[in-house]
Structure 1
Amino acid sequence: MAAPARNHVWVGTETGILKGINLVKKQASNYTEVSSLNKGQEVNVLCFGDPQESEVLVGSRDGIVRVFNCEKSKFTEFHECRGGEGSLRGLGVLDNGIITCVESGLLKLWKEGSSENLEIQVGPGVAKMRQCDVQRTKVGTGGKENDLKIWDLQRAEEPIFKAKNVRNDWLDLRVPVWIRDLGFIPETDKIVTCTSYHQVRVYDPATPQRRPVLEALFGEDPLTALSITPDGRSVVVGNSHGNMGVIDLRKGRLLYALKGSAGSVRSIQCHKSMPIVASCGLDRFMRIHSLIDKKLLHKVYLKSRLNCLLLTSSDKWEEEELMPLPMQDVKDEEDEVWDNMETVMEKNSSKKQGGKRESIVEDTSIANSPKRNKKRKGV
């Protein structure tokens, strides 16, 4: 019987692999059979299947939701949640049902053992659907030319909140809408969104105003992901250029930047109680930063382009604190590739046959690589 998977971070890759990372042991494991992968198994979304976090739900591009059992350390269930067109843009759990939303705008609640599933058309071009952690029946949606909507799945005929676009710009032109991510501020009714036009906006459904009550700008590149800090006072955002920053939600100003990312940030998640934030993206690294001193605590190379991550809510990581890793312990992508290759020995022999000289040379490109022999002048 396989040992239970005790990981602090779960990551879904573009190649369809579910990876688990134990930060105390400094180990990363693959939980998907690599030989059976195909393009349709690209992992788009992740979520925990229960409050105990003993199950991880993995939503793939082909509409299949796989259930990974952490105690058995294997996939135990497969749910076919196909409907609508496009990739999965959101995944959630409500009672014994699974909530999915695809790019074309079809949001469904798949109830176990029921032939009648709740269906809502939230509008085309969806980029993100996110479930509220506190009020589990509440979800938010938004996308390209599809402004923020909040839905209550218990009375889903109409959205309980529908955002209104900001006023025209100084040239009296309509301001385009393109929401990329959203989050619910803890212990309030407020929602934060980030857009492809580098805007961070806060909405308050408790007020009559349907336009943003606060707006801030971050950088010049499209914002791709966000996560709200545990105290609810600030939000961590990342963009397509690899920049990350922490923005004050009360004054709308940038507090500080989190450095280290080199590619588009695809997913960000703050820990629910600890002052840390995890992020991943196209540079193939999963990083954990401190929200207190901005230090890079962990940097793990995972070989594939990363789409999404899931951070455990546990704050007792085997009673060990997160400590910054020495820079020399962090291997770059090229080092990892070379370390995993076998050395090929060189054998040269020559002999004459029929008056012709033959040379038999095995492939020595790995053994004689300048990466392995930095002191040699030639290859």
Structure 2
Amino acid sequence: MAAQRCHVWVGAETGILKGVNLRRKQATNFSEFNRGQEISEMCWRQNQVLLGCVDGTVKVFSTERGEFTEFHDCSGGEGPFRGLAAYNSSLITCTESGLLKVWKEDSTDQVQVGRGVCRMRQDPGRPERVATGGKENDLKVWDLQRLQEPVFKARNVRNDWLDLRVPIWVRDIQFIPASDTIITCTGHSQVRIYDPSCPQRRPVLEMTYDEYPLTAMSLTSDANSVVVGNTHGQMAVLDIRKGRLLKCLKGQAGSIRSIQCHCSLPLVASCGLDRFLRVHDTGSKELLHKVYMKSRLNCVLLTSRESWEQEDEECSTAEEVKEQGEEDEIWASMATVTDRAESKRTADLQVTPKRRKRRKQMSKDA
């Protein structure tokens, strides 16, 4: 299967990059089994998929050529990658130990963002900015051109009703388009919205979903809702304008590792420990696709709308050609009325006089 026809890309614990064609329910491996190169992070760079592996290497896969074209040694820090991004010709990596690095062609800039990082996320609207957060490491926003100090540093919420400090555990981060607003989900089931323009630096909105740690999150295409998933395989759509639950997306059977909503279609893809890739319709809650991938999955990426529409057109054309061919075969196998009449006359002529006399006698006796 050509790499251009893949709707979804997933990275596995076994180090395998898998491309999935949802219409045909086919999954293709584009790399070999290598558990030492477990894929922990993935991101897009134009028509390339960047893969961050646990051994500190970043591999570049070309979806046009269907092969790996570049390999970069981005080792440094401790633990696996918790974030991977591209800015101009540079690579941005962040490890679990909190070492954020900007890998330029001739130099490297780095800063310590704090230990226990769970996620680094790039702002799509302003790619020179990234946000970091983790366990006892609250939300920070960094400018890649000035890494000395964060441009925004969140404050913890006030103590609870027992006057006890609320623990911090940022698990995922998203930037809301066309604004400075940032949304996070935590390991304590909270979804929080921050507005850096507010001087208090605390969440301006907080909501809670279920009781289990949230592990992944993604904004819907209209940016009015967010899809969250937790360690028990529960996934839901939350309204970030009113702070309420809209709907639940069912079908998962294990901890969710990665969620991504399509940028322009009402679709959301999810994967995790149950080895299944699932695609839901965020409007109708319907489970549209479910593909078994054989390996535990860490991350998922959706392709652009153009590739989906191109594949649909190709499949529609192929179906039309197939249907036309089947119709032609049916018409070719059918005999015309003229042929049947002619065959009957031919059969009558082949009857011998003796057999004709016997038929006439049988009709008289009847």
- Give the TM-score normalised by the residue count of structure 2: 0.83
Equivalent residues of 1:6, 1:70 under 8 A apart: no
C-alpha displacement of 1:207: 1.9
Equivalent residues of 1:45, 1:60 under 8 A apart: yes
| Residue correspondence of structure 1 range 175-254 to structure 2 within 5 A | 175-254=166-245
| Residue correspondence of structure 1 range 1-379 to structure 2 within 5 A | 3-34=2-33, 37=34, 39-50=35-46, 54-112=47-105, 114=106, 116-315=107-306, 316-318=308-310, 320=312
Q: Secondary structure in 1 aligned to 2:131?
A: strand
Letter in 2 for 1:286: L
Write the deviation string for residues 55-98 of structure 1: whole angstroms up to 9, x where unpaired.
11110001100011112211111000001111100000001110
Equivalent residues of 2:15, 2:32 under 8 A apart: no
How far apart in 2 are the matches of 1:317 and 1:285? Answer: 24
How far apart in 2 are the matches of 1:164 and 1:313? Answer: 37
Letter in 2 for 1:188: S
C-alpha displacement of 1:313: 2.3
Equivalent residues of 2:19, 2:29 under 8 A apart: yes
How far apart in 2 are the matches of 1:3 and 1:130? Answer: 30
Write the deviation string for residues 108-158 of structure 1: whole angstroms up to 9, x where unpaired.
01112x1x2110110000000011111000100000000000111112211
Equivalent residues of 1:40, 1:61 under 8 A apart: yes
How far apart in 2 are the matches of 1:24 and 1:105? Answer: 40
Equivalent residues of 1:24, 1:318 under 8 A apart: no
Higher mean alpha-carbon deviation, 149-158 vs 218-227, is at 149-158
1:326 matched residue in structure 2: none
Q: Which runs of 5 or more structure 2 residues have no equivalent in the other structure?
A: 314-366
Letter in 2 for 1:63: G
Deviating runs (4+, > 3 A) in structure 1? 2-5
The count of aligned residue pairs is: 312
Letter in 1 for 2:75: R
How far apart in 2 are the matches of 1:196 and 1:110? Answer: 30
Q: Give me the identity figure in percent.
A: 62
How far apart in 2 are the matches of 1:148 and 1:98? Answer: 21
Q: Secondary structure in 1 aligned to 2:309?
A: coil
Letter in 2 for 1:237: V
C-alpha displacement of 1:319: 5.9
Name the CA shift for 1:239/1:3 in 2 (closer, same or farther; >3 Å): closer
Equivalent residues of 1:149, 1:163 under 8 A apart: yes
Letter in 1 for 2:102: L
Write the deviation string for residues 222-261 of structure 1: whole angstroms up to 9, x where unpaired.
0000001111111000000000001110111101100000
2:358 matched residue in structure 1: none
Letter in 1 for 2:19: G
Equivalent residues of 1:225, 1:239 under 8 A apart: yes
Letter in 1 for 2:39: V
Cα-Cα RMSD: 1.3
Greater radius of gyration (CA)? 2
1:324 matched residue in structure 2: none
How far apart in 2 are the matches of 1:319 and 1:9? Answer: 12
C-alpha displacement of 1:23: 1.5
Equivalent residues of 2:5, 2:311 under 8 A apart: no
Letter in 2 for 1:33: E
How far apart in 1 are the matches of 2:175 and 2:127? Answer: 11
Q: Larger % of helix: which?
A: 2
C-alpha displacement of 1:3: 4.7
Q: Which runs of 5 or more structure 1 residues have no equivalent in the other structure?
A: 322-379
Write the deviation string for residues 321-377 of structure 1: whole angstroms up to 9, x where unpaired.
9xxxxxxxxxxxxxxxxxxxxxxxxxxxxxxxxxxxxxxxxxxxxxxxxxxxxxxxx
How far apart in 2 are the matches of 1:222 and 1:48? Answer: 27
Letter in 1 for 2:31: T
How far apart in 2 are the matches of 1:230 and 1:93? Answer: 22
